[in-house]
Structure 1
Amino acid sequence: MNGAIAVVGIGADGWDGLPERSRRALRTAEVLVGGPRQLDLLPPAECPGERIAWPSPLRPAVPGLLAAHEGRAVAVLASGDPMFHGIGRTLAETIGAERLHVLPHPSSVSYACARLGWPLEDVETVTLVGRPLASLAAALHDRRRLLVLSADGATPAEVAGLLRAKGYGETRMRVLEQLGSRDERIVEATAATWPERPGDPLNIVALDCVRSPDVPRLGAAPGLPDEAYEHDGQLTKRYVRAATLAALAPAPGELLWDVGGGSGSIGIEWMRTHRTCRAIAVEKAPERAARIDRNAAALGVPALRVVTGPAPEALAGLPAPDAVFIGGGLTAPGLLDACWQALPVGGRLVANTVTLESEALLADRYRRLGGELVRLAVAQAVPVGGFTGWRQAMPVTQWSVTKGSEA
């Protein structure tokens, strides 16, 4: 790996915890790059190289900083495993994985599972480093074990506050501080009794989730209860929503355009299917766009992007989607064509309507482009005098199609 940038993982135990191979890379480095805390862990006599702390913001500075030291032996310090929520990913994405020689150290997650006796493969990890607190909400399920990567010493109290607000106050919390060092310790309480004072900034939070029986259950599959959403009636209802997500068929890493976002339910539940799924909701009404933001945060996907404006004009300049859902505005001139043209080969389009005018439009596209045209009808049991009868909701016509190479 001559000429490669060494990316060296280091733990809270510092120099003493490093294997000889990592020490050798740091001893021979002419330039040592890292956060101030990591750089301070290196003994100057052993590591005489020039020390440079990462600037902020970090990502835009990476290419220029490394280019300035081209031809010199460079070592980058990282906390724990550089490729697990660490600087290794940023480096690989900005300068190329082929330029890196990664020397990992056990991650805080590995240490935490070792201390707790939790099988690593059964534990979900959520990072709050540079991410909003609300992103934890999507991972909350009764009896689920979670590890939360903290941003600082205030994170555990913030996590406890979110758990209380979501009806998970009886969740057992253990905060593991300074893992691997001589100062390692574990602090334990429930979310309901967690103290508000900040702790050690180097910590990870372990959660044994317990949901209050009176809190509505939000499952992992599409079709959340309608009551989970704030809405003004502009909401794709639960059973139609489940069928719509099935037709859209989200896969990890894919991007959805939710056109005519309404309350944001389709985009939100698309993103909840996998942590790497992305969505852009396009909504022309500002008050509804603000509501989508609130719903996304409440349901654990605050990264959902909301574009306020009428379609198709608001679609200009958006990144190409893997799938498009049209829940409103089908008769807007050029909307269907703009969505279809934006899709790559293999992309999916799903459109729902309850009006005859839009239904005729979908029937015409079905005739020309194929796909599936279905009518979804849902009836609910309601009291009728002293008996029970069915109340029929408005039927929904749905067209779904996958774009072929001949389109």
Structure 2
Amino acid sequence: MAAFGIEDSEFIRGKVPMTKAEIRAMVMVKAAIQDNDIVADIGAGTGSLTIEAALCAKSGKVFAIEKNPEGIQLIKQNAEKFGYQNIIAIEGSAPDAMDGLPPLDVIIIGGTSGNMHKILDNAENLLKKGGRIVLTAVTAETTGEVVREFKDRPFKFEGFQMQINRLRKLGRYHLFDPQSPVFIFTATKI
């Protein structure tokens, strides 16, 4: 069984956003990726979730879709660093970059660049019955949009909010530094 939540410092990083270890761990729990699964990571950033997904889908494939050229390079560098050959980096914006993907078992959505509705339309068509979408949101606007989007779609839908506080030393004391709250939604196709 895979251990989720690879240390953030293990990833090659640039100026591209990265999902933090604790959030990645919970996303992976909710994604429930199996050995032969075909996965898409939309808005893959540095590829941190892509790497965690590839760890689970050892006999499957993980498609990492990212519009930022720096992100694509980081995804490739991290795939090489961790030794995963089951990762396919696709440079482009979803939903267009989703064209040609095979039927999927799991779709992880970390960024939509304002294309949520069309991405979810494509995701609904690509996802196998019983497949899962795991979507993260950090803004109130995105959270509301996600809830509205799944209102009439054929999915079992649930969500929750995580708040991570990291311990840091300050002189002889220890303080908790709050991280931004993250909403995690899971939708299973019925």
TM-score under structure 2 length normalisation: 0.91
Give, in angstroms, the shift of residue 251 of structure 1: 0.8
Asked if structure 2 preserves the Cα contact closer than 8 Å seen for 1:330 and 1:336, the reply is no
Structure-1 residue corresponding to 2:5 = 223
Asked if structure 2 preserves the Cα contact closer than 8 Å seen for 1:366 and 1:372, the reply is no
Distance 1:300 1:325 in 2: 21
Asked if structure 2 preserves the Cα contact closer than 8 Å seen for 1:378 and 1:395, the reply is yes
Structure-1 residue corresponding to 2:71 = 288
**Does structure 1 residue 339 correspond to structure 2 residue 123?**
yes
Distance 1:386 1:254 in 2: 48
Give, in angstroms, the shift of residue 243 of structure 1: 0.5
Asked if structure 2 preserves the Cα contact closer than 8 Å seen for 1:366 and 1:399, the reply is no
For 1:233-248, list aligned pairs within 5 A. 233-248=16-31
Asked if structure 1 preserves the Cα contact closer than 8 Å seen for 2:65 and 2:97, the reply is yes
- Could you tell me the percent identity over the aligned residues? 28
Asked if structure 1 preserves the Cα contact closer than 8 Å seen for 2:136 and 2:184, the reply is yes
Q: How big is each residue's C-alpha offset from its partner over 1:339-359, in whole Å with a ceiling of 9 and x where there is no partner?
A: 122112111000001011111
Give the counterpart letter for 1:289 in structure 2. I
For 1:5-404, list aligned pairs within 5 A. 220-231=2-13, 232-329=15-112, 331-332=114-115, 333-368=117-152, 369-404=155-190
Give, in angstroms, the shift of residue 319 of structure 1: 1.1
User: Of the two, which has the highest radius of gyration?
Assistant: 1
User: After alignment, is 390-399 or 231-240 more displaced?
Assistant: 231-240
Give, in angstroms, the shift of residue 237 of structure 1: 0.6
Distance 1:394 1:380 in 2: 11
| Stretches (4+) displaced over 4 A | none
Distance 2:28 2:112 in 1: 19
Asked if structure 1 preserves the Cα contact closer than 8 Å seen for 2:156 and 2:189, the reply is no
Give the counterpart letter for 1:227 in structure 2. S
Q: How big is each residue's C-alpha offset from its partner over 1:115-134, in whole Å with a ceiling of 9 and x where there is no partner?
A: xxxxxxxxxxxxxxxxxxxx
RMSD, aligned CA:
1.8
Give, in angstroms, the shift of residue 367 of structure 1: 4.1
Asked if structure 2 preserves the Cα contact closer than 8 Å seen for 1:282 and 1:306, the reply is yes
Give the counterpart letter for 1:377 in structure 2. Q
Give the counterpart letter for 1:275 in structure 2. K
Change in Cα spacing, 1:366 to 1:313, as seen in structure 2 (3 Å) is: closer
Give the counterpart letter for 2:145 in structure 1. L
Change in Cα spacing, 1:299 to 1:291, as seen in structure 2 (3 Å) is: same
Distance 1:312 1:242 in 2: 26
User: After alignment, is 353-362 or 385-394 more displaced?
Assistant: 385-394
Give the counterpart letter for 1:228 in structure 2. E
What secondary structure sits across from 2:27 in the alignment?
helix
Give, in angstroms, the shift of residue 315 of structure 1: 0.5
Asked if structure 1 preserves the Cα contact closer than 8 Å seen for 2:150 and 2:157, the reply is yes
Distance 1:303 1:252 in 2: 11
What secondary structure sits across from 2:102 in the alignment?
coil
**Greater share of residues in strand:** 2
Distance 1:320 1:274 in 2: 15
Give, in angstroms, the shift of residue 397 of structure 1: 0.6
What secondary structure sits across from 1:341 in the alignment?
helix
Asked if structure 2 preserves the Cα contact closer than 8 Å seen for 1:267 and 1:281, the reply is yes
Give the counterpart letter for 1:246 in structure 2. V
Q: How big is each residue's C-alpha offset from its partner over 1:1-20, in whole Å with a ceiling of 9 and x where there is no partner?
A: xxxxxxxxxxxxxxxxxxxx
Equivalenced residues, count: 186
Distance 1:375 1:391 in 2: 17
Change in Cα spacing, 1:330 to 1:345, as seen in structure 2 (3 Å) is: farther
Q: How big is each residue's C-alpha offset from its partner over 1:9-41, in whole Å with a ceiling of 9 and x where there is no partner?
A: xxxxxxxxxxxxxxxxxxxxxxxxxxxxxxxxx
In structure 1, runs of 5+ residues without a counterpart are: 1-218
Give, in angstroms, the shift of residue 225 of structure 1: 0.4
Change in Cα spacing, 1:334 to 1:356, as seen in structure 2 (3 Å) is: same
